[in-house]
Amino acid sequence: MPRTLITGGAGFLGSHLCDRLIEEGHEVICLDNLITGRMDNVAHLIGHERFRFIKQDVTEYLYIEGPLGYVLHFASPASPVDYQRLPIQTLKVGSLGTHKALGLAKAKGAHFLLASTSEVYGDPISHPQREEYWGNVNPVGPRGVYDEAKRFAEAMTMAYYRYHGLDTRIARIFNTYGPRMRPNDGRVVSNFINQALRGEPLTVYGDGSQTRSFCYVSDLVEGLYRLLMSNEVNPVNIGNPKEFTVLELAHMVLKVVGGSSTGSTGFTAGIEFRPLPLDDPRVRQPDIGLARATLGWEPKVQIAEGLALTIEYFRKQMAGFS
């Protein structure tokens, strides 16, 4: 039975990975300081014979008793609202936290997977983004705390691979959405859905022509699992190559929320435009050729289906159901 540690395991992505690895027969140790993670995300696993929760900051002394087969490092604030509110903690978890997680994997002889991000490409000049692209990042801008933390984490991971011979994987994760997103996390999908459900105008920054590529969480977890079980040591883009403008996404959310409302007296939410934040990427789209070739993976959930599932989750949250 594989024994696996997931740092940040009570977060949006980490909690879905806990579920998947338990389904695959792993014993899962979920470590989270709950700064942005939530116990609600793993409450259904409490009491499971192959699940254990540890409340701890990964930047502190890290000790896990017994063997470990895998260490998955997902701890980090991951939305602009969070990492701009917690800049020092974000830099620490990307540097000290990654170092401690890698050190633990080395001590246990475990496989290691780093959750990196498409943010390493910054505001990209090359489009779509291939793994060979080095990025266009402003290291001293407001987004730099997250971008550079992840770039450092990648460099540290590759150093452990080359110098210590540690078996490592790096996933560059693009925009992901689905159940267990926090309603106030500042991500565009959760923002739009919650504003629409409250009947408020959807906040679009700039003119909405900036693009993103949205991957439903079940597709992403499948890609991560295949990467974990693969032999690919170089960074791999995991995301949906279908590109939308932010304004197109806003209209999709309005359509799905309005179309799925029952018993409503009317749906009047519109769109409100605000200035574009500093260093906000103009485009973002993964080239997933490497993931297709080495993992046999590509996303399957269409945006309309994924939005409907995510909207239903947020409806239940607003109604007080878990």
Distance (Å, whole) CA 153 – CA 72: 13
Distance (Å, whole) CA 303 – CA 60: 39
Name 116's bridge partners: 172
Element housing 51 (H / E): strand 51-55
Distance (Å, whole) CA 298 – CA 174: 13
146 is catalytic: yes
Q: Where are the alpha helices (DSSP H) in the chain?
A: 12-23, 80-85, 87-92, 98-108, 144-159, 188-197, 217-228, 246-260, 289-295, 303-318
CB 252 within 8 Å of CB 188: no
Residue identified by tokens 């701009």 is 84
Which one from 121, 146, 177, 216 is the annotated catalytic residue?
146
Residue 235 has what DSSP assignment? -
What are the DSSP calls for 132-187, one per residue?
T---B--TTSTTHHHHHHHHHHHHHHHHIIIII---EEEEEE--EE-TT--TTS--
**For the stretch 24-51, what's the b/e string if a residue is b when 16 or more beta carbons lie within 10 angstroms of its beta carbon?**
eebbbbbbbbebbbeeebbeebeeeeeb
CB 58 within 8 Å of CB 97: yes
Active site positions, annotated: 146
